Amino acid sequence: MTGHTPIRLFIGGKWIERNGAPILNPANEAVLGIVPMAREADLAAAVDAATNGFNVWSLTSAARRSEIIRQAAANLRANADVVARDITLEQGKPLRDAQTEVRRACQVLEWDAEEGRRLYGRTIPSEPGYRNTVQLYPIGPVAAFSPWNYPLSSVARKVGGALSAGCSLVLKASEETPAAAVHLAEAFVKAGLPDGVLNLVFGIPADISRYLIGHPSIRLVAFTGSVPVGKGLAAQAGMHMKPCIMELGGHAPVIICDDVDPLDSASRSVAAKASNSGQICTSPTRWFVHDSIYGEFVNNMGEAARKIEVGNGLDPATQMGPVANSRRLAAIQELVSEAIAKGARLVAGGERIKNNGYYWPLTVLADVPADARIMKEEPFGPVALVNSVTSLPDAIKRANELPYGLAGYAMTHSADYAGYIADHMQVGNLAINHFTSSLPETPFGGTKDSGYAREGGAEGLLNYTIVRSISFLAG
């Protein structure tokens, strides 16, 4: 097996080397390689390339675009072992989860490739002699920003959406997990994507976003990351009258109703919380459990959490890898300590494990006071917060009390309960009796502070288009 993939910028069809910053392996804090930092001239070249790329790509037939995107997905699949290993080395997740991420990214690209062929307009009944139609056109070059928790699938959503709709991109992928985006760009080069259609840069995030959002050629901003950064970027985009796709944070509630098995629901809850070490914007975080099964549920959560094997993602025995960086470790430590100091009951975990690498055990806190910071701030780590409620309306009230509204979950066998939850939970994505909140074919995105617009599903590509109403009077 080869080592870590060398990282370069990709601008106008050329790979470019620059000095940069070290990339760390969260499993052992070793330096894996260097991420090059773009200069302003590189950003200018990337926007120029994307502008030229747009002129070519937007005039390429939808069928040909689809073919190239599907071929890129096939190239990625063929290279899946190398890509997945790089994801684990840089980000920490277990190798099998990295392999799942590669498959999911390919499915996203394939879905979008097909949706691009179905971007239909419509004809509106008109006065005699008039033909009124509505047509969808690609919006223009896109500035896209993707995070470190899903280095490939988050990138694939933006690249798949933009390219399928006929747009070009300047993508700034995460500096901490850059290899997957490099692999994706290589897969597109091999598939025959014209030069300049996809451009990849790394650097100082705030400098890059300010430059790209302010550039007149960029017509859309797509961002996945935290609420504060998203609000800042949306404000900048607003100053330049540019639309955004904002996929921001969450603090997902899980309602456990009185009619479910407290053992099964607890063990499935723990498995979901362990996924990607809790570093998912849709990660289940606040459990509201009916008080008739609360005691048993909490005990079962604790037992299941203590069984989760934490270790290096390359070790096949590992169920949960390290958190991705030292910032997460420090933030989780602080939030957990503050909650315990405020009176939360520590049921499992609660302290850093190992001194080398960023390992944190699956932690369960029960009876967490509403004024503990962790009940309001996204822990973005493997911490489950469990509280009892007396009724379903009480659970809904607690679920909706934060400004977040991304994912929500519930467990019940009752159609009445499920209907009530669906009607009242303020989220963009609700999953009942399971924890998969999005698929390539379903629209993904939030409400309230969690953002707006959708990625995936039939809705996803619409963000990358402008609607043009065309009225034609036969002369």
Binding site for ligand NAD (CB under 6 A): 145, 147-149, 174, 205-206, 209, 224-226, 229, 233, 247-249, 281, 327, 378, 380
281 is a catalytic site residue: yes
Catalytic residue among 247, 257, 378, 455: 247
Q: Specify the residue for token string 């957990």.
A: 336
d(CA 290, CA 447): 26
281 or 339: CB nearest ligand NAD: 281
- The 3-class secondary structure across 12-52, one letter per residue, is CCEEECCCEEEEECCCCCCEEEEEECCCHHHHHHHHHHHHH
Q: Give min distance, CB of 204 to ligand NAD, in A.
A: 9
- Measured CA to CA, the distance from residue 448 to residue 401 in angstroms comes to 11
Asked whether 86 and 178 are in contact (CB, 8 A), the reply is no
How far apart (Å, rounded) are the C-alpha atoms in residues 42 and 365? 47
Helix (H/G/I), strand (E/B), else coil: 147: coil
Question: Which residue is catalytic, options 186, 281, 378, 455?
Answer: 281
In whole angstroms, how close is the CB of 291 to ligand NAD at the nearest point? 31
Query: Is residue 309 flagged as an active site residue?
Result: no
Q: Which runs of E-coded beta strand occur in 193-265?
A: 198-201, 220-224, 244-247, 252-256
Closer CB to ligand NAD, residue 249 or residue 284? 249
Q: What is the DSSP letter of 145?
A: E
User: Helix 95-115 crosses helix 62-78 at what angle (to 10 degrees)?
Assistant: 170
Q: Which CB sits closer to ligand NAD, 42 or 378?
A: 378
Shortest distance, position 374 Cβ to ligand NAD, whole Å: 12
Shortest distance, CB of residue 229 to ligand NAD, whole angstroms? 4
Residue carrying structure tokens 């990607």: 276
Return the bridge partners of 9, or none. Answer: 16
Name which of 119 and 427 has its Cβ closer to ligand NAD.
Answer: 427
Sign of the C-alpha dihedral, residues 224, 225, 227, 232? negative
Smallest gap from residue 75 Cβ to ligand NAD (A): 25
Of 155 and 233, the one with the shorter C-beta distance to ligand NAD is 233
Q: Which residues are catalytic?
A: 247, 281
